[in-house]
């Protein structure tokens, strides 16, 4: 019998090689892929993903409608946005019904963000208040409105799923706001001379200058966010134009609460900018230009607040007595909260409760009437009690924590999207700061802005998780064994 020739050291491997034949190559170790791959192991630890393994972050299409996945839910949602922003056509209810039908027909599972779960609990708590309120008719009517807003937010959470859809939505909503409330308020102020004691207003929900300025803060943050994910083109130029015009509109509304909210927003923007000196320089130049073209005395209502400190009289803050009246209204609201600390007076029932309590001798006559609280937090507490306030605050605080977690995770791999999320977050912070001086707990602009933030954060999470799973699968895939040919006999 002949024995085939074998390479030297064939058979058992040298010392340290165990029983593996020396002439047969060993398979690669798990995870032996080139480049930085993972920081975890078979236990499912975090996997490091390279930027080129992710889909493009910035779209290459010049026009935002290119590449959008159109469906009934998305189209219906856009119709609703057009209706509530422009008031051009009364198609809001029809649009949202179509969107809900599309939601039932879609193949993807229905997404319910944690924010909506929290607000759902708030609605259930409001139903408890409905059973004990003295104003059941008003509470029932407001419950219908809030429940409708919940379903609209549910549509938004399921309509915005892709980058193209989110990009077009941001562009569309900003365009609607620019061509109607912004244009209308500026035209009213300068061309038609229609204003409220020298303060810019428009029609419908924008007829109150404080509310108009409040919504401007959210739209301004959207313009900053859209600018972060856009290349050169008409969309980016439009976003930058909005970044200059919207602050000007906030200025001519002369809303002190909005000034404070805008200041908070701007402080966060400057502190979070990578080139702070450059950002501060541009801000000062744009701010100087805005003040130069603004009418004289536009900041008088803000500077008048110093008189309170010098005189100790709230009434000295302005000639029309707005600050003094708000102070008296807040005193009535606090007394109502003390008397109804658990369930409140009922959702939407604050005005008649205020009218009844304001007749007491301890309050000035300026607070009488079916007033609003002029404060989101006092309003929620007075209508839903301390329990309702805790649910409301924790719902939005939980959303911000979830979104900020994804933003921090995406800072290196998705820097432009992380910047967009940051702008939307600080816009929400500015809004809630200004909401100290205005009632805006149950408005569509707020809940849709918050839901859009969640949609972007969820998109980032899925992109990173998908890329990490693909990396992990490749890292632990079995490597084919290759055998060296035997030497000839």
pLDDT the model gives residue 486? 59
pLDDT the model gives residue 39? 37
Tell me phi and psi for residue 345, to 5 degrees: -90, -5
The model's pLDDT over 63-86, given as tens digits with 9 standing for 90+, comes to: 899 999 999 999 999 999 999 999
377-391: average pLDDT: 97
Listed range (97-106, 277-286, 385-394, 416-425) with the worst mean pLDDT: 277-286
pLDDT the model gives residue 55? 75
Q: Which residues contact 205 (CB under 8 A, 6 or more apart)?
A: 211, 215, 443
- Residue pair 431/217 in contact by the 8 Å Cβ criterion: yes
When mean pLDDT is compared over 11-20, 331-340, 477-486, the highest value belongs to 331-340
The count of other CB atoms within 10 Å of the CB of residue 473 is 10
More confident residue, 73 or 232: 73
Q: At what angle do helices 114-130 and 444-475 cross, to 10 degrees?
A: 140
447-452: average pLDDT: 98
The model's pLDDT over 395-431, given as tens digits with 9 standing for 90+, comes to: 999 999 999 999 999 998 899 999 999 999 999 999 9
pLDDT the model gives residue 468? 82
pLDDT the model gives residue 271? 82
Q: Is the pLDDT of residue 41 over 50?
A: no
Name the band, by pLDDT with cuts 50, 70 and 90, for residue 488: low
126-149: average pLDDT: 96
289-302: average pLDDT: 60
pTM, 2 dp: 0.84
More confident residue, 481 or 225: 225
Scan for tokens 């024995």, then name that residue. Answer: 3
pLDDT the model gives residue 306? 53
pLDDT the model gives residue 24? 52
118-136: average pLDDT: 96
Listed range (360-369, 432-441, 450-459) with the worst mean pLDDT: 360-369
pLDDT the model gives residue 235? 93
421-442: average pLDDT: 95
The residues spanned by each domain of the chain are 59-292+323-471
């Amino acid at each position: 019998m002949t024995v085939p020739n074998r390479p030297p050291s064939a058979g058992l491997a040298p010392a340290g090689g165990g029983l593996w034949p020396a002439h047969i190559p060993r398979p690669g170790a798990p995870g032996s892929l080139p480049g930085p791959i993972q920081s975890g192991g078979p236990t499912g630890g975090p996997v490091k993903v390279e930027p080129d393994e992710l889909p493009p972050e910035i779209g290459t299409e010049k026009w935002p409608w290119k590449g959008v996945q159109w469906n009934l839910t998305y189209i219906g949602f856009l119709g609703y946005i057009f209706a509530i922003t422009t008031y051009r056509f009364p198609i809001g209810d029809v649009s949202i019904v179509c969107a809900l039908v599309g939601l039932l027909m879609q193949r993807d599972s229905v997404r319910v963000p944690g924010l909506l779960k929290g607000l759902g609990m708030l609605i259930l708590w409001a139903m408890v208040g409905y059973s004990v309120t003295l104003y059941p008719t008003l509470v029932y009517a407001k419950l219908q409105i809030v429940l409708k807003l919940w379903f609209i937010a549910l549509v938004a959470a399921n309509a915005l799923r892709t980058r193209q859809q989110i990009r077009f939505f941001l562009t569309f909503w900003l365009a609607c706001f620019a061509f109607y409330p912004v244009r209308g308020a500026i035209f009213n102020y300068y061309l038609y001379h229609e204003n409220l004691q020298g303060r810019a207003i428009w029609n419908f929900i924008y007829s109150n200058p404080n509310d108009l300025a409040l919504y401007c803060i959210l739209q301004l943050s959207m313009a900053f966010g859209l600018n972060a994910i856009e290349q050169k083109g008409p969309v980016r130029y439009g976003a930058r134009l909005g970044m200059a015009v919207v602050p000007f509109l906030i200025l001519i509304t002369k809303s002190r609460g909005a000034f404070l909210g805008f200041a908070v927003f701007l402080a966060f923007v400057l502190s979070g900018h990578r080139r702070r000196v450059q950002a501060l320089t541009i801000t000062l130049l744009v701010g100087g230009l805005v003040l130069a073209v603004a009418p004289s005395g536009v900041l008088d209502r803000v500077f008048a607040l110093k008189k309170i400190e010098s005189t100790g009289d709230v009434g000295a803050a302005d000639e029309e007595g707005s600050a003094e009246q708000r102070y008296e209204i807040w005193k009535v609201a606090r007394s109502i909260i003390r008397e109804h600390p658990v369930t409140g007076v009922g959702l939407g029932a604050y005005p008649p409760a205020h009218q009844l309590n304001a007749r007491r001798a301890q309050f000035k006559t300026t607070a009488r009437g079916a007033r609003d609280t002029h404060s989101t937090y006092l309003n929620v507490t007075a209508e839903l009690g301390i329990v309702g306030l805790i649910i409301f605050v924790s719902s939005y605080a939980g959303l911000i924590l979830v979104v900020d977690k994804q933003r921090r995770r995406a800072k290196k791999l998705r820097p432009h999207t992380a910047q967009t999320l940051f702008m939307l977050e600080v816009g929400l912070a500015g809004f809630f700061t200004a909401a100290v001086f205005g009632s805006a707990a149950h408005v569509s602009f707020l809940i849709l802005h918050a839901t859009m933030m969640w949609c972007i954060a969820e998109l980032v999470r899925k992109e990173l998780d998908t890329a990490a799973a693909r990396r992990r699968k490749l890292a632990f895939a079995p490597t084919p064994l290759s055998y060296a040919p035997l030497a000839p006999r």
